[in-house]
Structure 1
Amino acid sequence: MTPVPIAVVGPTASGKSALGLWLAHQLGGEVVNVDSMQLYRGMDIGTAKLPVAEREGVPHHQLDTLDVTETASVARFQREAVADVEDILERGRTPILVGGSMLYVQALVDDWRFPPTDPVVRSRWEERLRDLGVGALHRQLADLDPQAAATIEDNDPRRTVRALEVIELTGRPFRASQPPKNAPPRWGTRILGLRTTPEWLNPRIELRTRLMFEQGLVGEVEALIRDQGLAADSTAGRAIGYSQVFEAMAGELDWDEAVERTITGTRRYVRRQRSWFNRDPRISWLDARENTEGQARRILGLD
């Protein structure tokens, strides 16, 4: 019998990596990363990427596939991750899809055919970006398509421009180009979601953020700038935590402010994740505060 992939989704810092490892051991599985920033080589501390020594011998795919000077692409990720999942299935293993990057999860779990692009339309929106700045352009997106704006970070110029391009080309909201969330998942994937409360998750986010800075996030950024050419205005450089380090290095923030803004930026992103995943009726929810392994065992019938 062909194995069925299991996806583990949910907010940042909710325990997805640990549950993914447990499932891999239980099901003879291999992990496929679905966190867009963990695609970048060298971005380890600030993305909470599991070190090799902590992967417990479980093969991991879609980690460290991009240089920090490259632009992460949902379409490229979809092609490569689908190939990984199908290779794992062909070998009789179980793919365990782990991550909380919303569009990346949907691109992998659903058969999403990406809308067209037009260089003339794209360049016109890029010119508006240069004239207005990303904040004003994101507010324009929010006026046209509030749901798209809710899932795209307000400091992400590339995805803001892309959403506006799709809206102009199709005459429909950006979200209308995405597959419906009540469609059967690709490969019959079972989707597990970790449900949290702010009262439980916020202290975890604060602790994890402070540990990242204590464990060398600033040194990691300095090394990526020196050795790999990480830039503040790149996709990688705008990641939560990394952008705040850049601002502090430029003297725009003091270091305490950089930590606090990383915490608040993460909490803001978590609200987007909750809103996105809560709309997916296919997710079987686990209470992240309790014994998630026991809950997953019951839901998947592993007893």
Structure 2
Amino acid sequence: MIQKKQCLALMGPTASGKSQLSMDLAESFPIEIISVDSALIYRGMDVGTAKPSLEEMEQVPHHLINTHDASQSYSASEFVEDVHDLVDAIFARGKLPVFVGGTMMYFNALQQGMSDLPSADEAVRAKLQALWESNPQALHERLLEVDPESAARIHPNDPQRLIRALEVFEVSGKTLTEHRAKPKSALSSFSLLKVALIPEDRSRLHAQIAARFQTMLEHGFLQEVKALMARGDLSVDMTSIRSVGYRQAWLFLQGEYDYDTFVDKGVVATRQLAKRQLTWLRKESDLITLDPFKTSRQERLQHVSNLIESV
């Protein structure tokens, strides 16, 4: 794969076992891991993101983890730029780049190229987030006025994409549709062998999500969010704090709802994230799928190992 400039991509919904599989592969192959996770870039956000441990990151080189402060934003276009530099360097070291994560927008940008979209504007985004919270329908109606094509494509209950579409318009004066009509930047100089862990039984994934959320709480997730709040320069509307779990914890600590409601909202938000990830994955072409609940850890390792050796 190294000679052919082909990277391995381990994809799948949250809590499906991607990170464990990558660490298992590292015992047999000279790999370096590139995180494809929009939350793992943030320092000080470890427990709630299920970030690899310091020991794991010492065992295997990990990239695009702990690269940004929680007050900063990071776009898909920045991800693509960083990845190109990383992949070249990893191949030059004679190692195999392995992409691991579930931020499907990043995977899509990597494969399809990037339109020249403006960078995130936290002030504009905070204003739109406030509008969503006070009147969700108004956000979609606003997008319908300025960019009906995007409004037809984006579900009224998808605040992240609605906010981004309106943010692009407010920052640049051009709609998302107009930006996408322009030629995209050059595609990657490498290809991806894509393996996805996709469970047929969603109830087992949901149970695993709930169990992992409880484990995070036992390992100090709320204390981690308290420390972020204590900084004084972060808000619930920032990109980092909108990460799944963090927003719900933040609002709980502000007294918006009780503990049981917080846990329920955190688990539900994570399940919704998994559903969105699976929707993205259904659109992926040339995808090799493994069911994490119908295969053993050793079987998954052997299957992916055979793929790597056959290329």
Give 3-state SS (helix, strand or coil) of 1:5's partner: strand
Q: Is contact 2:7–2:96 with CA below 8 Å preserved after alignment? A: yes
Q: How far, CA to CA, are the matches of 1:158 and 1:12 in structure 2?
A: 23
- Letter of the structure 1 residue corresponding to residue 137 of structure 2: A
Match of 1:238 in 2: 242
Q: Quick one: which of 28, 43, 46 aligns to 1:44?
A: 46
1:15/1:252 Cα in 2 relative to 1: closer, same or farther (>3 Å)? same
Any residues of structure 2 matched to 1:45-60 within 5 Å, and which? Answer: 45-55=47-57, 57-60=59-62
- Letter of the structure 1 residue corresponding to residue 248 of structure 2: Q
CA deviation after TM superposition for structure 1 residue 294, in Å: 2.4
TM-score for the superposition, normalised by structure 1 = 0.84
1:189 and 2:192 are equivalent in the alignment? yes
Give 3-state SS (helix, strand or coil) of 1:238's partner: coil
Match of 1:203 in 2: 207
Q: Quick one: which of 155, 159, 163 aligns to 1:154?
A: 159
Which piece of structure 1 moves more, 169-178 or 271-280?
Answer: 169-178
Match of 2:128 in 1: 129
Give 3-state SS (helix, strand or coil) of 2:28's partner: helix
Q: Quick one: which of 190, 204, 222 aligns to 1:218?
A: 222
Unpaired segments ≥5 residues, structure 2: none
CA deviation after TM superposition for structure 1 residue 65, in Å: 0.6
Unpaired segments ≥5 residues, structure 1: none
CA deviation after TM superposition for structure 1 residue 68, in Å: 0.4
Q: How far, CA to CA, are the matches of 2:50 and 2:242 in structure 1?
A: 16
TM-score for the superposition, normalised by structure 2 = 0.82
Give 3-state SS (helix, strand or coil) of 1:190's partner: strand
Aligned residues: 296
Match of 1:297 in 2: 305
CA deviation after TM superposition for structure 1 residue 92, in Å: 1.2
CA deviation after TM superposition for structure 1 residue 237, in Å: 1.1
- Letter of the structure 1 residue corresponding to residue 128 of structure 2: L
Q: How far, CA to CA, are the matches of 2:42 and 2:213 in structure 1?
A: 19
- Letter of the structure 2 residue corresponding to residue 129 of structure 1: L
Q: How far, CA to CA, are the matches of 2:273 and 2:85 in structure 1?
A: 29
1:34 and 2:36 are equivalent in the alignment? yes
Question: C-alpha offsets along residues 15-71 of structure 1, whole Å, 9 cap, x if unaligned?
Answer: 010111222333210000000000000110000001111346100000001100011
Q: Quick one: which of 11, 15, 19 aligns to 2:21?
A: 19
